[in-house]
Chains A and B, each alone.
Chain A
Amino acid sequence: MTRWMLPGFLTIGALATLVLIVGPAIYAISLSFFDRTSLTAEPVWVGFDNFANVLSSGAFWNALWNGFVYAGVAIVLQVVLGIGFALLLHQPFRGRALLRGVAFLPYLLPTVVAVLTFKWMIDGSLGIVTIKMADWGLPPIYWFETESAAMFSVIMVSVWLWTPFVTTTFLAGLQTIPVQLYEAARVDGAGPIRRFFHITLPSLRPILTVIILLRGVWMFNKFDVIWLTTGGGPLGATEHLPVLAYREAFRLFDIGTGAAIATLSFLVLMVIVTIYFWAFPMDDRK
């Protein structure tokens, strides 16, 4: 390595970060201080008015709450199911390699394909789920159309889509746990449940910490599933901050308010991530 390589690569990295990440972020944040009806319209400086309006609106708090519910429940389910499936796929059985491949498939599907498939399956009149339920004498459920069911439905779609990622990550983690630890625990008298809590779970902790963080951030910012299924409805029942920001900026043409919502969303996430890092430091293996 020549003596110019390190500063050279650092400079390229710093420039790319500035141009592609810091610059747009500053621009987006700056938008929130202006009143603007489109990206081409002349901006009018309004200071913190957009933030004041957003914070005093019920829609913002509703969207924030929905975001917590959507991300929180989806992560819990993804992690619990992910570990469960990983434990199953870690057991020796015939066709394991094939099943491991199949289990990863949902993650490879484009979100729009998965969402359309779900929408077909649970369509109120033609969906296979609706027809089957009718065959069994069950009343129809309007999965995306009623306030009570819509949040449950978008969470389920998200869990179906992203649990494979969690499963695969945990499966990789399980394979790094030395078999001798389990044998030592068997000799020590620990049954399967105690072995899980005393060996498996602590050994997966570094992965668990990262997965919860990553999936949490991704789910909190996840736009496509909700937009493609419910569009945030019905009556804002599934509207979270990304959908609200998009609606304000690009449907109601209030760029400033949209930017203010996005900025607040970013701040909320930053606070949560900071607390998370403090509570679960990444280098506590010793």
Chain B
Amino acid sequence: MTTVSLRSLRKTYGTVVAVEGVDLEIAEGELIVLLGPSGCGKSTTLRMVAGLETTTSGQLMIGERDVTTLEPKDRDIAMVFQNYALYPHKTIRANMSFGLKMRGMSAADTAREVDRAAEMLDIAHLLDRKPAQLSGGQMQRVALGRALVRDPAIFLLDEPLSNLDAKLRARMREEIALLQRRIGKAMLYVTHDQTEAMTLADRIVIMRDGHVQQIGSPLEVYDRPANAFVAGFVGSPEMNLVPARIESGRIILDDGVATPAPGNAPTGPVLVGIRPEALVPSHQGMPFVVQGVEQLGSQTLFIGLLGPHRVRVLASRINDVAPGEAIHVAVEPEAVHLFDNASGARL
């Protein structure tokens, strides 16, 4: 069942278009991640859903209600902000109670709801403290807790983990995924971190310059990126994108640097996308001059030249190749993505 519908949602600031016609149906219990670089319109889209930004045109439905012009409080949403936005002078309990109090919930019911959420997030021991006395991770939990007590139709999270260090971010990511499955509510989650998107999302919405580039499950956008932008944005290390031409079933990257093309490849100039892990060091294949070696533990990342193009190769651990050495790399034709040279669209 659809919980939230974004229908041709558009936002302009004067002549600047921030979001151009976003269409999205979010099902109950679904975790949608809005992914894109800074300024792509993902946060603006989220803020339009929240009601913190007016909508220039389009329609927003939550459940059966048209909420396009309603105040945030009347939309049945809860939001987690990037900087947590905890009220600094209130205790954690008061922070979490505030929304319920504003809605006229009785003191006893409020206390019960706050205790329940605090229990769920393991912050019951922090309830009497103030935000300044908490660590970043604890503040993040409280911010989640404040949203959780409200039991809304949809949770909106605006880059909630971007202020945490890498280790804590990974842990909180897992916790948010578990929490979301446990409560079974829809979530709209904004991030510029593709790892977060890949690991959390049921579906990812990739945006660029206010336009939706692709909507799909994490593996769909990874395996079949709709265009060169998505291909380059999703995946870490990012996909190698190099100009080439296709002639008689072969992809020609440069004189003497060629590899078999996939069966459906059109002849002519193309943009070739090969994921670093799809390039495999081998005895035959394309000549690759190693410029840099990054040991990641279980894997080794080589940076080097494939013809004139700088590319990355991610291989299982290799200890005995040093910068300056020339090796060969091969790629399966099915692992090659082809994009239109001009538009970047998938071929």
Contacts and interface: CB of A to CB of B under 8 A. Distances in A.
A189 B132 contact: no
A47 to B, nearest CB: 51
B73 A188 contact: yes
B103 A187 contact: no
B269 interface: no
Q: Which of A186, A187, A190, A285 has the most CB of B within 10 A?
A: A187
A56 interface: no
B278 interface: no
A190 B83 contact: no
A181 B83 CA distance: 10
Given A189-B99, A189-B102, A198-B98, A184 B87 contact: yes
Contacts of B78: 187
A114 to B, nearest CB: 37
A178 B83 contact: yes
Interface string A176-213: 00101101111111100010001100110100000000
A39 B90 CA distance: 57
Interface string A12-43: 00000000000000000000000000000000
A205 B90 CA distance: 13
A178 B89 contact: no
Nearest to A180: B85
B89 A205 contact: yes
B76 to A, nearest CB: 11
Contacts of A198: 87, 90, 98
Contact of B81 (A184, A199, A202, A205): A184
Contacts of B52: 183, 186-187
A286 interface: yes
A285 B132 contact: yes
Nearest to B52: A183
B346 interface: no
B73 A186 contact: yes
Contacts of B50: 183, 187
For chain B, the bracket of interface size reads: 20 to 34
B133 A184 contact: no
A203 to B, nearest CB: 7
B308 interface: no
Interface in B241-258: none
Nearest to B74: A189
A73 to B, nearest CB: 28
B130 interface: yes
Nearest to A202: B89
B290 interface: no
Contacts of B130: 286
B205 interface: no
A286 B133 contact: yes
A131 B73 CA distance: 53
Nearest to B83: A180
B237 interface: no
B75 to A, nearest CB: 9
B43 to A, nearest CB: 12
B79 A184 contact: yes
Contacts of A190: 73, 98, 102
Contacts of A194: 102
A265 B146 CA distance: 51
B137 interface: no
B89 A187 contact: no
A203 B86 CA distance: 12
Contacts of A285: 88-89, 132
B95 to A, nearest CB: 9
A187 B77 contact: yes
Contact of B98 (A180, A183, A188, A203): A188
Q: Which of B71, B88, B133 has the most CB of A within 10 A?
A: B88
Contacts of B232: none
B72 interface: yes
Contact of B89 (A186, A188, A203): A203
A184 B85 contact: yes
A202 B88 CA distance: 9
Interface string B193-226: 0000000000000000000000000000000000
A187 to B, nearest CB: 5
A186 B81 CA distance: 13
Contacts of A180: 81-83, 85
A188 B83 CA distance: 16
Q: Which of B51, B77, B98 has the most CB of A within 10 A?
A: B98
Interface of B: 50-52, 71-73, 77-79, 81-83, 85-90, 98-99, 102-103, 130, 132-133, 146
18 contacts: A178-B85, A180-B83, A181-B87, A183-B81, A183-B85, A184-B79, A185-B98, A187-B50, A187-B79, A188-B99, A188-B102, A189-B73, A189-B103, A190-B98, A199-B87, A202-B90, A285-B88, A286-B130
Closest 4 CB pairs of A and B: A189-B102, A189-B73, A188-B99, A180-B85
Given A187-B79, A188-B146, A198-B87, 15 more contacts: A181-B87, A181-B88, A183-B72, A184-B86, A186-B72, A186-B73, A187-B77, A187-B99, A188-B98, A189-B102, A194-B102, A199-B87, A202-B89, A285-B132, A286-B133
